[in-house]
A and B are shown apart, each in its own frame.
Chain A
């Protein structure tokens, strides 16, 4: 690089310094998003390491792939908050940053009363205030307490046989990470440099409630949201006859031939153009909705003899909205995701390289600088690898960190 070469584009948040405290998937993911967008994130771990380092799946050498997904790109430092000078050190670190993201427990152990603390986002199960704080909880339990699980199993034909059901995978925690990132970006702007900065109270339970747009709208409209039993008068499929789930010989597809012209083309795909002549079976959208269960049975007789990729391809040619129900392996190999360089290759110390999702958007500045996607990135190292950065940050306070409080340096 010569002196005329501009530095590479690090992202829109370049220059933002963030301190992450505590072990929580939402906090870690939110901080990682800020890091992906160019912020400098310092993650503090206890001397024994973040508990999420043990979370499955592990590579052959015992490194957590999930921990890597949540923490790649961050500077990792090890601080014993309970050790001599630990609390003071965390306060100094916080004072050097623009933003602190913390669990409630980590905040109490560290920077809560630090006067130079910047805007601080505190993440907890049920919030910092309110008569129901501190209930023993977990991600799974929060999905039931917030109403998400109840409404995700509503309406159903037989409530007795269909328990409330939570989100897939770590979705509840990951959505929490998105809210952490949003609240953090709001807080840093709203605080405008004030010290001590405002404490922003973010509860897992609240944010799941916030996602329940339709159940709240139904409640607001005076509908009975306590009864999960399906009203047969409203059609027999979940989306009122607009979307069908069809098992195939090797998986399943979802198809949505909504308009009459789409339905006619879909019948051609299935080899049953004659169906369109049967007005009582599928004359129009209203009739198809009323007959949704019967039509599903008829279509499934055909689809179970087909491979899902063949069904999807034929539907695509006929301009009918139809997609496979993907397996995780399908997603890793998906041509659209690959073409958009959605997966980064994250390389571990033992040489293992795993595809991991990048940010789900391309970000290009007005002058044409584009945030990188789909490249190779190192997995996070050991706690304490960020010791140099810690030194740099703390140089501003006029002294070296106390070694008794800092590990890995």
Chain B
């Protein structure tokens, strides 16, 4: 078995913000060589703190001014020896700088060219300016999370959703295209719409609407078909416990864990149907009972009784969780804790290759010297002229 299954695949990565970089981080974790095209004059590349360092592992960085003919020529040379191009430019920029699929396939006919844009590259709205946060509204998901409020709090805007799931779709498409290329030698063009990427994950809402019905309950706050089910306040500061009771066995477990609440003696106790009909009352009783309870001990008691339950945990706790540590979801590298670069666990604790986020332009000599064969003098002249910058 070779976990670096994409060894030998070179990816030219023009992407920025989040979706594209997360995609190429995953491809890099599987062994692909990622050449990130950056520019030291643009703040989205030169400022590398926060999220940037989490989604730009496993890449080589070079700096290039793609607005100049010399810069565009260097890109074409790089594409000639590469297999995949990932971009999220506007349509205008692609054509203006000679980087469209039609232009690059003339140089490298079997290139796999992957374009991610808000609306897709076709259709009447293809050129609309669309930020990820607005797409979460346009896709409808903002209207399905939490309670509407002017400040957009707890409505699914943060953490980003459309961008990471776009990265998952994009990675799926690229892996399929690479397999196809390896089997047939054929390249491909992929035109991915972030709007569609988000909408495709909302089947319950779409299918109910298609049948002229409303979704019975919002799944963001409760589990449909379970009673009681919800997120409940416990003792202490901002401590919450989520629980869901779906079956008779789980119900009996809940009654044992909450023995002094006399749930079993209530009229709704007899059947799952009766409990679902009395869900609001049942949730209110559970909420009242939990309000003064210690979340950690009641979580343990409920789980011991077979009831699906968990405290609503935060990242600090997740990172310290022995379960997550044993599963190598986090590990300490060079004095810093890093998250796994891939979300699955393979033999011997393999979780994807890891190389730290590169400094900007760190690999200019490799890209322009080793890969493109430019002499040191020529590289210096291009840097002087502002092409490599």
Residues of B whose CB lies within 8 Å of any CB of A are 1-6, 18, 22, 26, 30, 49-51, 53-55, 105, 109-110, 119-120, 122-126, 128-131, 133-135, 137-146, 148-161, 164-165, 168-169, 171-173, 175-177, 179-180, 183, 186-193, 195-197, 199-211, 213, 215-216, 218-224, 226, 229, 231-233, 238, 240, 242-244, 246, 250, 302-303, 306-319, 321-324, 326-327, 329, 336-337, 339-340, 342-347
B201 touches A132 (CB 8 A): no
What is the bound-complex CA distance between A182 and B218, given in angstroms?
28
Q: Mark A163-177, 1 if CB is under 8 A from B, else 0.
A: 111111111001100
Known: A323-B130, A324-B137. A164 touches B188 (CB 8 A): no
B231 touches A139 (CB 8 A): no
Determine whether A291 belongs to the interface, using a CB cutoff of 8 Å to chain B. no
What is the bound-complex CA distance between A356 and B2, given in angstroms?
37
B200 touches A179 (CB 8 A): no
Known: A200-B344, A327-B209. A69 touches B150 (CB 8 A): no
A182 touches B319 (CB 8 A): no
Give the residue name and chain of the A residue nearest to B52 (CB): A217
B1 touches A198 (CB 8 A): yes
B344 touches A357 (CB 8 A): no
Main secondary structure of the interface of A (DSSP, over half): mixed
What is the bound-complex CA distance between A153 and B231, given in angstroms?
12
Chain A residues with CB under 8 Å of B2's CB are 190, 192
What is the bound-complex CA distance between A115 and B179, given in angstroms?
25
Name 8 interchain pairs, CB-CB below 8 A, sorted by A. Answer: A15-B183, A57-B211, A135-B303, A166-B220, A171-B165, A252-B143, A332-B210, A361-B120
A131 touches B210 (CB 8 A): no
Known: A65-B207, A211-B164, A362-B190. A194 touches B1 (CB 8 A): yes
B233 touches A163 (CB 8 A): yes
What is the bound-complex CA distance between A344 and B220, given in angstroms?
27
A146 touches B176 (CB 8 A): no
What is the bound-complex CA distance between A332 and B207, given in angstroms?
10
Instruction: Give the segment of A85-93, A282-290, A333-341, A384-392 that binds chain B.
Output: A333-341
Identify which of A152, A192, A253 gathers the most chain B CB atoms within 10 Å of its CB.
A152
Give the residue name and chain of the B residue nearest to A239 (CB): B133
Q: Which of A37, A185, A190, A316 contacts B1 (CB 8 A)?
A: A190
Known: A219-B315, A332-B209. A256 touches B156 (CB 8 A): no
Give the residue name and chain of the A residue nearest to B168 (CB): A178
Determine whether A129 belongs to the interface, using a CB cutoff of 8 Å to chain B. yes
A362 touches B207 (CB 8 A): no
Chain A residues with CB under 8 Å of B140's CB are 168, 325-328, 330-331
A147 touches B344 (CB 8 A): no
Q: What distance in Å separates the Cβ of A273 from its nearest Cβ neighbour in chain B?
A: 21
What is the bound-complex CA distance between A150 and B344, given in angstroms?
22
Q: Mark A1-24, 1 if CB is under 8 A from B, else 0.
A: 000000000011101100000000
Q: What distance in Å separates the Cβ of A304 from its nearest Cβ neighbour in chain B?
A: 11
A356 touches B206 (CB 8 A): yes
A171 touches B123 (CB 8 A): no
Identify which of B124, B319, B322, B344 gathers the most chain A CB atoms within 10 Å of its CB.
B344
Give the residue name and chain of the A residue nearest to B352 (CB): A186
What is the bound-complex CA distance between A239 and B155, given in angstroms?
12
Chain A residues with CB under 8 Å of B200's CB are 174, 357-360
Known: A328-B205, A366-B110. A147 touches B315 (CB 8 A): yes
Chain B residues with CB under 8 Å of A358's CB are 200
Chain B residues with CB under 8 Å of A362's CB are 120, 122, 189-191
What is the bound-complex CA distance between A293 and B209, given in angstroms?
34
Q: What distance in Å separates the Cβ of A378 from its nearest Cβ neighbour in chain B?
A: 16
Chain A residues with CB under 8 Å of B176's CB are 11-13, 37-38, 185, 363
Chain B residues with CB under 8 Å of A207's CB are 343-344
Chain A residues with CB under 8 Å of B242's CB are 140-141, 143-145, 149, 164
Determine whether A183 belongs to the interface, using a CB cutoff of 8 Å to chain B. yes
Q: Which of A170, A182, A203, A326 contacts B327 (CB 8 A)?
A: A203
Q: What distance in Å separates the Cβ of A71 from its nearest Cβ neighbour in chain B?
A: 12
What is the bound-complex CA distance between A229 and B69, given in angstroms?
50
B195 touches A213 (CB 8 A): no
Q: Which of B5, B204, B336 contacts A169 (CB 8 A)?
A: B204
Q: Mark A364-382, 1 if CB is under 8 A from B, else 0.
A: 1111000000000000000
A137 touches B310 (CB 8 A): yes
B123 touches A321 (CB 8 A): no
- Extra contacts, 9 of them, besides A11-B176, A12-B180, A321-B131 (Cβ < 8 A), are A140-B244, A150-B313, A170-B201, A212-B315, A218-B315, A219-B316, A340-B122, A342-B193, A364-B191
Q: Which of B109, B125, B203, B229 contacts A366 (CB 8 A)?
A: B109
Give the residue name and chain of the A residue nearest to B346 (CB): A200
Known: A337-B196, A365-B180. A168 touches B340 (CB 8 A): no
Q: What distance in Å separates the Cβ of B44 from its nearest Cβ neighbour in chain A?
A: 14
B125 touches A65 (CB 8 A): no
A206 touches B329 (CB 8 A): yes
A206 touches B345 (CB 8 A): yes
Q: What distance in Å separates the Cβ of A336 from its nearest Cβ neighbour in chain B?
A: 4
Give the residue name and chain of the A residue nearest to B231 (CB): A163
What is the bound-complex CA distance between A206 and B117, given in angstroms?
28
A214 touches B158 (CB 8 A): yes
A323 touches B158 (CB 8 A): no
B186 touches A201 (CB 8 A): no
What is the bound-complex CA distance between A130 and B325, given in angstroms?
8
Interface residues of A in 276-303 (CB under 8 A from B): 293, 296-297, 300
Q: Which of B138, B219, B319 contacts A167 (CB 8 A)?
A: B219
B327 touches A215 (CB 8 A): no
Known: A243-B134, A325-B143, A339-B122. A157 touches B151 (CB 8 A): yes
Instruction: Give the segment of A75-83, A103-111, A220-228, A401-409 that binds chain B.
Output: A220-228
What is the bound-complex CA distance between A121 and B155, given in angstroms?
33
What is the bound-complex CA distance between A4 and B336, given in angstroms?
61
A216 touches B197 (CB 8 A): no
A198 touches B346 (CB 8 A): yes
Q: What distance in Å separates the Cβ of B351 from its nearest Cβ neighbour in chain A?
A: 9
Q: Which of B153, B190, B243 contacts A141 (CB 8 A)?
A: B243
Chain A residues with CB under 8 Å of B219's CB are 140, 166-170
Chain B residues with CB under 8 Å of A357's CB are 196, 199-200, 203, 206
